[in-house]
Structure 1
Amino acid sequence: MAKLHTYTTKVVWTGNTGTGTSSYRDYTREHEISGEGLPGIPGSSDPAFRGDPARWNPEQLLLVSVSQCHMLSYLHLCAVNGVVVTAYTDEPVGTMTETAGSGQFTEAVLHPRIEVTEEAMVERAVALHHDAHKVCFIANSVNFPVRHEPQVTVKTSSAGSQPR
């Protein structure tokens, strides 16, 4: 039987400059995202839509959610498959197509950079990205393709990592 999980957050618009939404240009897109016991996240819209570039926008948050979920799924699979990861960094790129007042993501490409402890782990470390994608809750929830372009390096004792 499926297990149900419910998530709650709070979004509060803080962009009323005095006249509310009396016109498209009379308010800011600023808002605060929070959850019980969590630090707030300053949000806005994309600067292309009159947003504040110093604040997170929904498109960035969607992309980071895909990346976080993949990373957490991947690290779990590495742990249970004997792949020892010592570092993980991702710089994902998402593409959104805007059409007549709307838009949608058309793709996300994850660029995970992983460091493992042994050369013998490299092949399995690369392969586990496919498995992580299959079990990632967020990737299973979006309607656009999520691709992975991983790079795995082996940690060396003192000279750093060597790419594979």
Structure 2
Amino acid sequence: MSKLRNILKVAGVATAGAIGTKLAVDFFKKRGKKEEAVSEDAPDILEPVDDDAEPSSTAEVAYAAVKSSSVQTFLDKSFGDSGRYVPDRAPKVFEYQGKQYMVIWADDTQKNKKQMMAFLYTDAGRKMVASVGYTLDTTDYNISLEDTPFAVEVNGDLITSGQSTTDGTDEVDFVLA
């Protein structure tokens, strides 16, 4: 899990102390089901005191629970427009099958839509692998997940690659393909 901690530090994202493992199928359940939310009152912890959690099989993820607000600085620095993206759902920061990811859901205050962004971390740096902007009228996406076990679910469809638009939605999820 040391790579996951390094990603949190590099991104400037603070955990709320909850670091653990769970089966991937449980971690990626639909949003409508119980999602681990971190109270905004929880203290920020840049260096968790818990022992590192290591997946015991390829069916598990190691994850760090973070507050939505803790990714604000990351978003401001990454996109150079302070306050454009405002997190609106608990981010997912996790390691799965040896690769590290961060998924953020935010309001795009400039374009008046919701945005889901997924990043893959490698030794070469951070790579955005999914960007989905959505309103009730239209959904636009640029997705490059074909080399991962993931997809983006939009209106019941699983999308692993491509750049296009589709029908509008009020929810987009990052799921196992």
Structure ID, larger Rg: 1
The verdict on a shared fold, with TM-score over 0.5 as the criterion, is no
Normalized per residue, the structure richer in strand is 2
Normalized per residue, the structure richer in helix is 1
Under a length normalisation based on structure 1, what TM-score does the superposition of the two structures give?
Answer: 0.28
Under a length normalisation based on structure 2, what TM-score does the superposition of the two structures give?
Answer: 0.26
